[in-house]
Structures are given as structure tokens and as C-alpha cells.
Copies of this chain bind each other. A is one copy, B any other.
Amino acid sequence: MSATAAKRGQKNWPKQVEAVCVRQGLQLTPLRRRVLSILGESAAPLGAYAIIDRLSKIEGKQIAPPTVYRTLEFFAENGFLHKIESRNVFARCEHVGHAHYGALLLCETCGRSEEIEDEALDEFLKRTAARAGFALQPQMLELQGLCKSCAAAARGA
């Protein structure tokens, strides 16, 4: 993903979420809008407490954890956000309204996450698991590595 594409995604994401909320009759309250904008402006996924801190600054008073966790839960349940379990952070879902499978490519160096949707991958995993008698759920993989620019930087260094 190019830097400009990242920036576009970042800028458009709150608007896309808003559009889906309107279509589906989901309440986009002031609190949710503020959290949306915090997530929308971040280059990399954010931890809950980073969001709490930023929100507290915006609101001018200390916001308690449940407030933010509930908001994040709302976004995750409605397919706007991924929780990245391996890092305890929350990333914008770049495919608002699409199926939730594929993979998140997580950069070890810059912390950014990139989302790919790949039916072939899904199929391959299902078949691989099935050989062990395992029935896979649909899920987003979390894959660790280096993003294009960090890999280039590492090679250059």
C-alpha cells in the first residue's frame, strides 16, 4: 500500500463508517464520533488506553475505561474495527461492510497494519485445517512481518 493510499483510507474511513451507520440505523453519538475521529487520524492501530488518553484531552476530563471499551466494542461488532489480539490494539477495518476474513499484515517496525482480503488464502487454510479434522471459523489472520517501506529501510541500512 502506498503512503497516499494509506492517507486516503485514513481520511475516508470515518465517512464510510458514518454512511454505513446511517444506512443501518446505527446511532453515531458524539462520543462515538470522537472515538471514530481519533482512530481515523492514527497512522497505526491504537491501544485502548491510548484512546482513553486522547479522548480525555479532547473532553477536558478523565474518561473511564469502560466508556472507551464499550465504544470500541460497538465498532468491532458492526464490522468497522478489528481488535488485534497479538498486540492489544484496535485497527480500522479497511473493508467496511465486507466479509471479515483475510489477514492483517502487522509491521514489527512501524506498527502499522494493512488488511488484505483473499479468498484463496481462506480456502487454503480451511483445507489445511480440515486435514487435521479441524473446522475453522471465518477469521482475520494476524501476520507479523515488515511492511514494504520498513523492509526497504532494513535492506538499505
Contact = CB atoms under 8 A, between A and B. Distances in A.
Contact of A124 (B107, B121, B136, B148): B121
A86 to B, nearest CB: 4
Contacts of A144: 136-137, 139
Interface string A89-104: 0000000000000010
Contacts of A120: 128
18 contacts: A1-B133, A85-B86, A105-B134, A108-B137, A114-B132, A116-B128, A124-B124, A125-B143, A129-B143, A129-B145, A134-B147, A134-B151, A135-B145, A135-B151, A136-B144, A139-B143, A141-B143, A142-B142
A118 B114 contact: no
A1 B105 contact: no
Chain copies in complex: 2
A146 interface: yes
A84 B69 CA distance: 23
Contacts of A128: 103, 116, 118, 120-121
Nearest to A114: B132
A116 B128 CA distance: 9
A132 B86 contact: no
